[in-house]
Structure 1
Amino acid sequence: MLRLILGIIAGLVAAVFTVMLVEMVGHMIFPPPEGVDVSNPEQLAAIMHEIPLGAKIGVLVAWALGIFVGGLVAIRISKRNWTAWVVGLAVLAMGAVTMMMIPHPLWMMVATPLITVLAVVLTVRLFGTRAA
């Protein structure tokens, strides 16, 4: 049981760290307009229509990589494939909260759950444990 809890917690930490790191790189590639605080949801909501497509795709890539890395960590520690789903659903929930706070385009709202499923399935296929 301890292994399961540690796996899920470590997977969540790895996922959040990965998302933050990839989004930070995205901000270097697509810097926000001068004077915009990217940690302020109101300011981001005001400029969402100005954000380049590449930056929006970068956010989805960050979430997918976060799920992939977090799921991998969770599986490796817990030795259970389903822990990758816990991590994936947690990242999906965080994405949903973000989308409620900051209006996102419809295509991003549709793509997010699809990317979540694809990232978890890929993680489990590549790194999942085999049933005896």
Structure 2
Amino acid sequence: MPKSLRYPLAVILGWIIAIFMVYSVEQLGHLIYPPPADLTSQQQVNEYMKTAPAGALVFVIIAWFVATFVGGIVSCFIAKGASMMMAFFVGLLIFFGAISSLMMIDHPVWFSVITMVGIPIIVAYTGRYGKRFEQQVVL
């Protein structure tokens, strides 16, 4: 498969896997820290965030970090080359999703700082680690 098709496909599939990872880890967090059933409005979500257990918020951060890593690794594996670029694009999509969440929902400052610093670090690590997959091709 030519690079002109493989690279976009790698980013798209990496992003899809990343979204699945966010969902899966956050669902695990909801099992351990069940949110109130009556979160039906933006105001209720913002009020809950003021009293949410730190563990529940940590699960969200872990979900974003795991998604960034796994989605980036999947894209590196599929792309066969340009691992830093593949990890960057998948990480950028996760980063924009995190920024969107931070803008819509009132999060604690510590949560925002860890997220904004952590995701780029995970992207850099993923790009370096992803070089191991450059010789292995799926497609």
Same-fold status (TM-score > 0.5): yes
| Equivalent in the alignment of 1:68 | 69
Match of 1:100 among 87, 103, 107: 103
| Equivalent in the alignment of 2:43 | 42
Structure 2 residue 86 is the aligned partner of structure 1 residue 83: yes
Deviation of 1:34 after TM superposition, in Å, equals 3.8
| Equivalent in the alignment of 1:31 | 34
Identity across aligned pairs (percent)?
36
Match of 1:20 among 20, 23, 31: 23
Deviation of 1:118 after TM superposition, in Å, equals 2.1
Largest Rg, 1 or 2: 2
Which letter does structure 1 place at the counterpart of 2:44? Q
TM-score for the superposition, normalised by structure 1: 0.89
Distance 1:41 1:57 in 2: 21
Query: Unaligned 5+ residue runs, structure 2?
Result: 135-139
Deviation of 1:124 after TM superposition, in Å, equals 2.2
Deviation of 1:119 after TM superposition, in Å, equals 1.4
Runs (4+) off by over 6 Å: none
| Equivalent in the alignment of 1:122 | 125
Structure 2 residue 97 is the aligned partner of structure 1 residue 58: no
Distance 1:17 1:42 in 2: 27
Q: Deviations over 1:31-89 (max 9, x none)?
A: 0124235xx54321121111000111111000000000100111111122111111111
TM-score for the superposition, normalised by structure 2: 0.85
The count of residues paired between Structure 1 and Structure 2 equals: 129
Which letter does structure 1 place at the counterpart of 2:76? I
